[in-house]
Chain A
Amino acid sequence: MFKNHLKIAFRSLRKRALFSSINTIGLSIAIASSILLFLTSFHELSYDKFHEDSDRIYRVFHHDYTPDGIQKGSGWPTPFQPALKEEFGDQLYAARWKNNQAAIEYEGKLFEANFKMTDEDFFEIFTFPILKGDPTTPLKDLGSIVLAENLVGKLFPNEDPIGKTVTMSYDNIKKDFIVSAVIADFPNNSTLTFTALARFENDADYAQTKDMWSAFHHNVYVKIKSKIKKEVLESAMLPFANEKFTDEEEEEGEQPVYADADGNTFIPKLQPITDLHLNSALNESTGMNLKTVFPYALLLIGMFILMIASINFVNLTLGSSVNRAMEVGLRKVLGANRMQLISQFWWEALIVIGIALGLGITLAQLAMPTFNNFFNEELSLANASIIWILALILLMVAFIGGAYPALVLSKFQPATVLKKLTNFQKPGKLRNFLVVFQFAISILLITCTIVIYQQLSFVQNKSLGFNKEEVMSIPVGNEIEGRKAIQRMRNEFSGDAHILSITGNDGNLGMGKDLSTSRTGWGFSYKGEPVFTMFQSIDYDFIKTLDLELIAGRTFDPNRPTDTIDKMIINETFAKSLNIDLNDPSTMKLDTSASFEVLGIIKDYHFDGLKEEINPLSLAIDKKYGIEYILVRMAPQNMTQSVNRLKALWKEIAPRTEFAGSFLDENTERLYRDEQRLSTILLIAGSLAIFLSCLGLFAIALLTIVQRTKEIGIRKVLGASVPNIVKLLSTDFLKLILFSTIIAVPLSWYSMNQWLQDFYYRIEFPWWVLFVAGILVAFIALTTISFHSVRAALANPINSLKDE
């Protein structure tokens, strides 16, 4: 019996080769794409869950009540962690975590190291397996260093690294460390990244900041020892924080003006480490944060595509089941009972789905390298659970898809089927509902794609107020000091017609190839009022290089050495908030705790991208702060040549640091990486959705028309023209698409409006997009249908009537 089912199944699949291939191809494409989407999503959601006690590990952050509202920050001063340990040492482990790019050297071999400063508790908190050396307390000694496997392989290809001395260069110091352990490389779903770890006390600023509670510059992670609730610990930390962090204000004799309901100005909080990756910005459910929503959006899109293909499957099985009524009737006459018929249809459904699953997995495997490359992922099918989940979903689809013919057809009285008397109650309502659903999803995905593209191109084309096309930004690295590098470049290119000017700053504009952005904020009081400004350390020629506009005062002058002491240039927004009179230079003195003179005021520029409103900004040439990025403005002619010359010079200046220069327009675009990634995925998903929907529509139209052949013949005999018939056949489908558009409109509007809120500078919701998407989908669908309807309308009516 079973063999007979299989045989019949394969033969009937072969007989309806067109429908079978639409089913299998559609499903396998959907399966392949949902595998990729689900894998990406699972990867995003898996961050930091590999730590054994990931549910008890937190990053400590704080809410700080300031004139600008609540400032959230995860930076802490150096004495915070030791004080925390002293107070709560019995309840938690705590470790500081500070970033320090460094160069590591051993017997003349030099490599870049991702060097992190931390504490002994690091190994109590996190699960990074120690492969060699001291297995329990590798950071017991101040002079110890722990190296990651990969770096060890490069530095010590044939040696045991334990006990060897390496030299680290960072923050203008050189220091020797003894390798105490080798640790496994961090997995690709770890938020914490490193290739070398040493004790925090080795930080260049440690001596100055050891007792300073006002400089916030590193993260602190804790692991709660027992099952204390996070909220309990948070409230226990509150008096401790109040004691440690309110001294400053009291010294100035001020009452805390900005505080929460209980008068707390500074509230320590714990963020679960598993939230870190998706919410590094510490957003607490404000609007639609793309990074947080991203994995769920992917899951949803994957489900959508899978659903569309499954609907095709169900619809096609429904549609062609009517044509199989005869066979079912016969089988019943010959003695088949319902169970036998039901299992026959289910086997057929299972075979199609099984083939599609196999094809889909193969397709996903083939597409994986391209996908990984394109989206910068490291996915693999090693995570087999996803295939089981898919198989389960598909089993359900097979069950549902096979259920209609199995349950409904097998119920018919064989006599009625054989007599062809039954005007089968067509599976019309269900089918229409499913088609509407498919096209609503397609329209939704398309409108989202267009809106995101609109916003991104708005963002890319909006003038940021500085020259981003001709200015290249080069990360300095650790080999040479930034200002020295600038000086050398200026000497080399002085009088050069193609390299126009050179400057530098300590925070990147946009996001460089090193994928880092940074901001420094600075608060002080001015005329008794607290003020807050973003701060950047720059070098001479900054205004000239970036093509900024000076609207009052003057810029920094290399011939006036005092310009590098207590002098600032501020932006318009800041000047306005301080009420500085542009026409009266005498007001340009900031009477702060450390008095600053405002040299000049520049027109606002979007130093922080377009997601943020322009904040107050201060620029200073302050030798205390380094230069992290060199900015070079080039003439628009011979740019490639200029870049090559820069590269050549860079090899002389810093032979062991890779040249990672990039133009500022690339950098600002990189700020919208997540958006671009989502819009690309949406575009592909939207196209796939339409393709699959149309594939289904194509088959449904064919089935409907085949079933209406006689009607078409009669109508033609009675005088209907070809356009009459085409119209007759297309109107029904057009109605469905109109309905889909009506359903998709509010959904698109809502989701995209939410998304746009993420941008301070944004487009109005483009209503025309809905019409365009609707018309586009209708057009594609009509073309699909007309392929059949025109053919049916042109056919000789005798052919269709002869059948009877």
Chain B
Amino acid sequence: MIRTSNLQKIYRTEEVETTALNNVNITINEGEFVSIMGPSGCGKTTLMNILGLIDNPSGGEYHFLEEEVAGYSERQRSNLRKHNIGFIFQSFNLIDELSVYENVELPMLYTKVPSKERKERVEKLLEDMNMMHRKNHFPQQLSGGQQQRVAVARAIVNNPKLILADEPTGNLDSSNGDDVMQLLASLNQAGTTIIMVTHSPYCAEFGNRIIRLLDGQVVKENMVTKHHV
């Protein structure tokens, strides 16, 4: 599903050139749950952004669903993204002006899902997440765990093939964090590919493979043997 070869990302200012990613070669197959780990500043988020098609690499190749997408325009990437990729962030990133229901509904507005179907899908998901009773609340009125559940619902409402989660438990306590990890694991079991950035070895072990980054390079890849599920 995902294959990169010699992927590079370089940030340039007038005087300094910072290499965020240096010759990253990874392959991720459909149905995998991959955790990316590494210290702060090692390029995890940069890699995620490029994999998620919200940023362009400076060099190398990126094949997404058998297509070379490294040179895609913003419009092309946007199209590919909205149908295939869901995002979950550490800081939830819900839109404050929209209610729970509307936040979950929003991606479907951009993919032009008919309104009847939108309603069905939002309500089904909110039921599943046990958030139906909060559907008219606004993000500020929810706890962190609840907000992240809404964010997960929003990420999967378009049935994406790939979910990118950037430290999804970073702002949560352990019990809420566990809930979110369980959710991701069950999504993976249902067939969704998941790539997750995390600092927590515990969370990383929910996946089946761990990729370790250091200074923009892949330094180690290992399969997970112990599973929390």
Contact = CB atoms under 8 A, between A and B. Distances in A.
Interface stretch (A148-156, A186-194, A333-341, A691-699): A333-341
B106 interface: yes
Interface in B186-200: none
Interface stretch (A8-16, A34-42, A358-366, A526-534): A8-16
Contact of A419 (B45, B74, B75): B45
B54 A332 contact: yes
B78 interface: yes
Interface of B: 45, 49, 52, 54-56, 74-75, 78, 81-83, 87, 89, 93, 95-98, 102, 106-107, 109-111, 154, 158
A12 B97 contact: yes
Given A15-B96, A332-B78, A419-B45, A337 B54 contact: no
A330 B95 contact: yes
Nearest to B50: A415
A327 interface: yes
Given A4-B109, A334-B82, A334-B110, A15 B49 contact: no
7 contacts: A11-B97, A11-B98, A327-B95, A335-B81, A336-B110, A338-B74, A340-B110
B14 to A, nearest CB: 14
A326 B91 CA distance: 12
Centre residue among A330, A331, A333 by max chain B CB count within 10 A: A333
A497 interface: no
A418 B90 CA distance: 11
B110 A8 contact: no
A414 B54 contact: yes
Contacts of B93: 326, 330, 418
A337 B95 CA distance: 17
Contact of B82 (A8, A326, A330, A335): A335
Contacts of B82: 334-335
Interface in A69-101: none
A335 B110 contact: yes
A1 interface: yes
> Which of under 10, 10 to 19, 20 to 34, or 35 or more describes the interface residues of A?
20 to 34
Interface in A400-424: 413-416, 418-419
Main secondary structure of the interface of A (DSSP, over half): helix
A335 B3 CA distance: 23
Nearest to A13: B97
A326 B49 CA distance: 15
A334 B153 CA distance: 13
Nearest to B81: A335
Nearest to A4: B109
Nearest to A416: B55
B107 A334 contact: yes
Contacts of A416: 55
A410 to B, nearest CB: 10
The 9 A-B pairs of least Cβ separation, nearest first, read A335-B82, A335-B110, A415-B55, A415-B49, A11-B97, A414-B54, A415-B54, A334-B107, A336-B110
Contacts of A413: 54-56, 74
Centre residue among A7, A338, A418 by max chain B CB count within 10 A: A418
Nearest to A8: B97
A413 B58 CA distance: 14
Contacts of B49: 415, 419
Contacts of B110: 331, 334-337, 340
B28 to A, nearest CB: 19
Nearest to B112: A1
Given A332-B54, A414-B54, 5 more contacts: A11-B97, A326-B93, A335-B82, A413-B74, A414-B55
Nearest to A339: B75
Centre residue among A12, A331, A333, A334 by max chain B CB count within 10 A: A334
A417 to B, nearest CB: 9
Nearest to A326: B93
Interface string A1-36: 100100110011001000000000000000000000
